Amino acid sequence: MSIILNGNELTISEIVKVARGRAKVELCKKALDKVRAAKKIVDGIADGERAVYGINTGFGKFANVAVGKKDVGILQKNLILSHACGVGNPLDTEVVRAMLALRINALCVGHSGIAEGTLRLMAEMLNKDIIPVVPCKGSLGASGDLVPLAHMALPLLGLGEVYYRGKRTAAAAAFDKAGLTPIELAAKEGLALINGTQAMCALTALAVWDARILLKTADIVAALTAESLCGITDAYDLRIHAARRQAGQIDTAANLRKLLADSGLASSSEKSEGGRVQDAYTLRCIPQIHGASRDAVAYVEGIAEREINAVTDNPLVFKDGSVLSGGNFHGQPLALSADFLAIAMAEIANVSERRIERLVNPQLNNGLPAFLVRNGGLNSGFMIPQYTAAALVSENKVLCHPASVDSITSSANQEDHVSMGMTAAYKLRTVVENAAAVLAIELFSAAQAAQLRGADKLSKAGAAVFALTRGKIAFVENDTYLAPMINEALRLVKSGEVVKAAERAAGKLK
Provide the annotated active-site residues: 53
Angle between helix 460-472 and 483-495 (nearest 10): 130
Q: How far apart are CA 198 and CA 196, in angstroms?
A: 6
Contacts of 145 (CB under 8 A, 6+ apart): 139, 194, 196, 197, 198, 199, 200, 331, 421, 422
- C-alpha distance from residue 366 to each of 190, 352, 376 (Å): 64, 18, 17
Query: What's the number of CA atoms in the CB half-sphere (13 Å) around residue 85?
Result: 6
- Which residues, in sequence order, are CB contacts of 209 under 8 Å at separation 6+? 12, 13, 15, 16
Distance (Å) of CA 416 to CA 85, 114, 419: 20, 28, 10
Integer angstrom CA distances of residue 303 from 60, 204, 216, 249: 27, 10, 21, 21
User: In this structure, what DSSP letter does residue 63 have?
Assistant: T
Report which of 206, 194, 207 is spatially closest to residue 329, judged by C-alpha positions: 194
Alpha helices by DSSP H, listed for 229-285, are 238-242, 247-260, 281-284
